[in-house]
Amino acid sequence: MRTKCLLTLFTAFVCSTATPDVSARDVDTAVFVGERISIRPMPDPCRAAASETGELTCITMDELFKARYRVVQNVVGAQAGTTLEFAVADHYGFPPFGRFHYALLFVAMGDTPWLHKYQAIPMHRTADKQWASCGDIRFDPDGPPSPELKALRFLQPIARESDLPTSMRVSYEAGTLPHLRIARGQVWCSEGILIEDVYRMVRDGVMRAREVPLPEWPGAAAPP
């Protein structure tokens, strides 16, 4: 029987015989703050299938990873338990959010959970113990900053300099990330967007465009 590989990798991470396409609209989504435990490369499903059949019938357009996160704070949607493993697809290599300890994650809870593609925003604790992004989550260098962006004090450095994604380091050196300060190998941040605003921006932007329904922000939960 000929193998059909589903290459819309944010909707299905399987190669199987005559498997129907699975839409992100058809599964529940868990939105939670997670703490990184591990992120490991996954085998290329097309090459794995070809090793069994002797015929390469598809090409994987993304690099695939298996992420394991501790659930720190459930936000909305399906409950993710205490830990969750989920698949991640990234066209450019190792996912940038995985270089930070915490992230706001939008995970489709199918038979094999997967991250809605690129919908993971690094989160950091502020001095008043809220979660927030560092900097603006909208990337429009020619436009105005998001109105939700505000000056914030963070409890500690958001990362080590050596952990910064290459693109972020290049932007910092070019002077386009004025909210960052690097001192003695530590990265400090001076502004960001609070988690409830980040959630709303993602829900009303990318997720709505993908026709993935999500509820209103439920209100701030007590810090863990």
Distance CA 100, CA 203 (A): 22
The answer to pTM > 0.95 is no
At 155, list the tokens. Answer: 């409890």
Distance CA 54, CA 195 (A): 48
Distance CA 60, CA 91 (A): 10
DSSP symbols for the chain: ---EE---TTT---EETTPPP--GGGS-EEEEEEEEEEEEE---HHHHHHHHHS-------SEEEEEEEEEEEEEEES---SEEEEEEEETTSS-GGGGSSEEEEEEE-SSS-EEEEEEEEEEEEBTTS-EE-SS-SS--TTSPPPTT-EE--BSS-SEEGGGS-HHHHHHHHTT--TTEEEETTEEEE-EE-BHHHHHHHHIIIIIHHTT--------PPPP-
Name the residue among 183, 127, 188 with its Cα closest to residue 159: 188
Name the residue among 142, 128, 108 with its Cα closest to residue 24: 108
pLDDT for 81:
87
Pair 85, 172: CB distance under 8 Å: no
Pair 66, 91: CB distance under 8 Å: no
Pair 134, 192: CB distance under 8 Å: yes
pLDDT tens, position by position, for the chain (224 residues)?
Answer: 343 444 444 333 444 333 334 455 667 999 999 999 999 998 887 777 777 777 777 777 788 999 999 999 999 998 888 999 999 999 888 999 999 999 999 999 988 899 999 999 999 999 999 999 999 999 777 789 999 999 999 999 999 999 998 888 899 998 889 999 999 999 999 999 999 999 999 999 999 999 999 999 986 444 45
Give, in order, the Cα–Cα distances in Å from 155 to each of 67, 92, 124: 26, 31, 8
